[in-house]
A and B are shown apart, each in its own frame.
Chain A
């Protein structure tokens, strides 16, 4: 684990007690055996950011799903690649970026989930994406410096309002 370059010790800023928020980068091999670690770290960070246990569990699940998508789709199961998880408490919101250097997967290609149809057709794909969108306030995808970045954001105010 290492601290991302952008936070929290910014150049020229002298951290004061209570103003520095935690951020970290976790890099794991593209193996599903590391999903448990990703989940635990995310949950702990979410709790530290002030989310209740139930919400922290949900956030951990969303990040587990994003990392699973990377392993299964971007890397197509290859176990020798890297998945980078950037977690950051940004005060009003909790941001997680899941970064990979695999194939770009078009998230719009994932159809809406219709449970009845899924059961009839024995389909199971797309559930993870659906879960991520239900749990997070925003899920976006972009290419940056030749890598895929899935950004997940949860606003603290939305939780406080009971969303």
Chain B
């Protein structure tokens, strides 16, 4: 089994990313590349479905931080869904739960864009 795969699909104007495996210094380039590709296509509403993510190290958190200004500057946001306890815990340790909107399910995250027009916090 590979250490990280990232599937992607679009639901109207929202891009969904599905990282499966773990994101650390070894695998972060792949994750970063998928975010970058979405931005290059002008897609600034992104949901990262973390249901397949076993853990994320600082490299992955850095990838999220490195893109968020550009995403919000483009009128969108990056939102997270379906975090397991391990990943949620890491987010809370660093205070990322105050920086990103986190939803219990992918559908909740998609609908949140429809509710508020998609602009970040």
Binding site for B on A (CB under 8 A): 32-33, 35-36, 39, 54, 57-58, 60-61, 64-65, 68, 71-72, 113, 115, 118-120, 122-125, 127-128, 130-131, 134-135
Contacts and interface: CB of A to CB of B under 8 A. Distances in A.
Interface stretch (B8-16, B45-53, B93-101, B103-111): B93-101
B86 A54 contact: yes
Contacts of B58: 65, 68, 124, 127-128, 130-131
A32 B66 contact: no
Interface of B: 3, 22, 24-26, 55, 57-59, 61-63, 65-66, 68-69, 85-86, 89-90, 93-96, 98-99
A116 B95 CA distance: 10
A57 B53 CA distance: 13
11 contacts: A35-B24, A36-B22, A54-B86, A57-B55, A58-B93, A68-B58, A119-B68, A119-B69, A127-B94, A130-B58, A131-B94
Contacts, number: 81
A58 B55 CA distance: 10
Nearest to B90: A61
A24 B59 CA distance: 27
B36 to A, nearest CB: 13
Given A36-B26, A124-B58, 10 more contacts: A36-B3, A39-B22, A68-B58, A115-B65, A115-B94, A122-B69, A124-B66, A130-B58, A131-B58, A131-B90
B65 A118 contact: yes
Contacts of B98: 115
Contacts of B94: 113, 115, 127, 130-131, 134
A71 B3 CA distance: 19
Majority secondary structure of chain A interface residues (helix, strand, loop or mixed): helix
Indicate the member of B58, B69, B86, B98 with the most A CB atoms within 10 Å. Answer: B58
A54 B107 CA distance: 27
A119 B65 contact: yes
Given A35-B25, A115-B96, A64 B57 contact: yes
A58 B86 CA distance: 8
Contacts of A115: 65, 94-96, 98-99
B33 to A, nearest CB: 16
B26 A54 contact: no
A54 B90 CA distance: 10
Contact of A68 (B59, B65, B90, B99): B59
B27 to A, nearest CB: 8
Nearest to B61: A127
A61 B59 CA distance: 11
